[in-house]
Amino acid sequence: MEKEVFTEEEKVLLKKHVTDIENPIYCIKNLPEEVVAVLFAYVSRSPNSFKRNLLKLLGSGDLNLDVNKVSDMYGDAASMQEAKQKAMKFHEKWVVGYGHGSVAEHASIKFAIDKLSIVATKILEDNRLGSYTEKSTRYQVFDKNVFYWDPKLMSSEFQGEVRELVHLLFDTYEKFLPIVTEKVKAKNPRDVEVNERAYENSIKAKVCDVIRYLLPAGTLTAMGFTFNARAAEHAIRKLLSHPLTEAREVGQKLLEEGSKICPTLLQFAGHNNFISETNKEMKKLSQSILKKDVQTTLSGAKTSEDPNIKPVKTICVDENAEDKIIAAILYEHSQLSFNDVYSEVKALPREEKEKVFDEYVKRRGAFDRPMRAWEHAFFTTEIVCDYGAFRDIQRHRMNTQTNQIFNTHLGYEIPDEITEFGLKEEYVAVMEKARTLYEKLETKFPYEAQYFIPLAFRVRVLFRWNLRELEHFIRLRSSVQGHISYIKIARLCWAEIDKKYPLLAKYITLNMDEEYLGRLRGEIETQKKMDKVKEKYGD
């Protein structure tokens, strides 16, 4: 490929905006996000390089970005603002006028929120195309003054009861902190080879793992997230169409601040009648069509000992998933149609199928991920877990999630340590007060009542995973360094795969000791026998 030649003047200009003027691979810098989107938009119709198109834009006055005023890091404010105005005219024509929405995906917006509720973070993170980092409940102790007081609840006749419960939850959280710390230290004395700081951090994580169950979902947290402008518009639209006041407040503020970065690309990020009205009508239809009472179907679910709660339930799986994945692996390296490959794979003996899997994964290093053929098999699972665990599980967004509103009907988890340390009676009393108040308010304030529910209570969610994402989830979340709540879920997800497709399960990295694995396999075999009996004789 012939090397692109630039004049000395052009090189000076380019150095302000690209990381390498010689190499055909480089990064763009020192341009407003909407200007970057203009630059990338030209590639679809221009034969020129990005550098040449940038020079054309700068030289023609289409951007009016004065190179003599632009610093290496931020750029002259007046010059940058003029460039943004020029970019807006471009976007008004191509994005707004012609619907060329993909242009907006090249503009990036980085948002930071210092105070929003845990409930609100779940609404925001229900957008697949984003990158999120959230304040951890495992590694930080929360203060009793960090809570979102919903205006509807606090202007209702129940505001006194809500305030009393929230204060009780935080007071109990604070009370349990030194008690649990002392007990955990007694159980885990410091090894002489471990330095004091590392030891204290590990103790803090173990303690927070236990007491976080008491935190109400309205606890204020912090998060940073990055959207491209197209994803931001969609996320803001959803927030502004949500029934919760806080969601709309957050959406409005994101729109205001995001518009300072990408004013044209966010100009249609408003309330969406389709979203808000459809959800209202679907709730009405659900209540009129579904006749079963949640309390009777659960037989009064109470605590973690309740046998009616199944943490992981497989709803449906791809038939012949193993054959489909093997066929997809071989298909990529053949010239045959998928049906031809698939028909041959189905006839292979198990040893041959195993050989394909062996070769496909055996060279994988610690940080390597399965290749994309694993995406050709799907599992749909229904997961019931405490809301604290859901915070972590939900962040695996390369799947399809359908979430139910947070409530108290599925009961709550009681950590083993709470019982072991003699705190169960007080813990249960607090949880029951939360349940009683929720059931009192849920009809009138179904969304707002979520705020005072402790993270110990369970939530139910439907996940449709491809096997590649499920492998990532199981490998990451079954690690002993994680929280016991989602470790259990990850291991049970593996068990569900192993029941149906033991050959696939063999190639999924599962972090657990051999004793636990033996018990789990024993439970799987027992369940298989019970399923056969039910199939033959009925329930």
Between residues 515 and 452, the one the model is more confident about: 452
Question: Which segments of 312-377 are extended strands (E)?
Answer: 312-317
Mean predicted confidence (pLDDT) in 480-497: 85
Say if residue 522's pLDDT is above 80: no
Mean predicted confidence (pLDDT) in 143-155: 92
What SS3 class is residue 176? Answer: helix
109-279: in CATH 3.30.70.260: no
Say if residue 170's pLDDT is above 90: yes
| CATH (residue range 292-318+377-413+456-537) | 3.30.70.3180
Mean predicted confidence (pLDDT) in 409-432: 95
* Single pTM value for the model: 0.81
Question: Which segments of 378-506 are extended strands (E)?
Answer: 378-386, 400-403, 458-466
Instruction: Give the closest residue to 481 by CA, choosing from 71, 185, 201.
Output: 201
In this structure, are residues 496 and 381 in contact, taking their beta carbons and an 8 Å threshold? Answer: yes
What is the predicted pLDDT for the residue at 446?
93
Mean predicted confidence (pLDDT) in 116-124: 93
Instruction: Give the closest residue to 107 by CA, choosing from 250, 234, 226, 252.
Output: 226
128 vs 130: CA distance, rounded Å? 6
Mean predicted confidence (pLDDT) in 248-262: 89
Residue-wise pLDDT tens digits, 276-315:
999 989 988 888 888 776 655 554 455 545 656 788 888 8
Between residues 237 and 472, the one the model is more confident about: 237
What proportion of the chain, given as a percentage, has pLDDT over 70?
83
Say if residue 376's pLDDT is above 80: yes
Tokens of 374: 């694993």
Instruction: Give the closest residue to 411 by CA, choosing from 247, 313, 526, 294.
Output: 294
484-500 and 514-537 helices cross at what angle (nearest 10)?
Answer: 50
Phi/psi for 111 (5° steps) reads -100, 150
Q: Report how far apart the first and last C-alpha atoms of the chain are (Å, whole number).
A: 71
Measured in residues, the chain has a length of: 539
Q: Where residue 427 falls among pLDDT bands split at 50, 70, 90?
A: very high
What is the predicted pLDDT for the residue at 121?
93
How many CB atoms sit inside 10 A of residue 136's CB? 13
What is the predicted pLDDT for the residue at 408?
95
Residue-wise pLDDT tens digits, 475-485:
888 877 778 88
Between residues 194 and 98, the one the model is more confident about: 194
What is the predicted pLDDT for the residue at 265?
77
What is the predicted pLDDT for the residue at 87?
57
Tokens of 511: 């972090």
Q: Any residues with CB less than 8 A from the CB of 232 and at least 6 apart, and which?
A: 109, 111, 254, 258, 262, 265, 266, 269
Mean predicted confidence (pLDDT) in 443-447: 94
Phi/psi for 320 (5° steps) reads 55, 40
Say if residue 458's pLDDT is above 90: yes
273 vs 333: CA distance, rounded Å? 48
What is the predicted pLDDT for the residue at 246?
96
Side-by-side strand order, sheet with 220-228: 108-117, 220-228, 131-134
Mean predicted confidence (pLDDT) in 26-32: 82
Q: Where residue 67 falls among pLDDT bands split at 50, 70, 90?
A: very low
176 vs 189: CA distance, rounded Å? 20
**Cα angle: 93, vertex 99, 103; to 5 degrees:** 80
Average per-residue pLDDT for the chain = 83
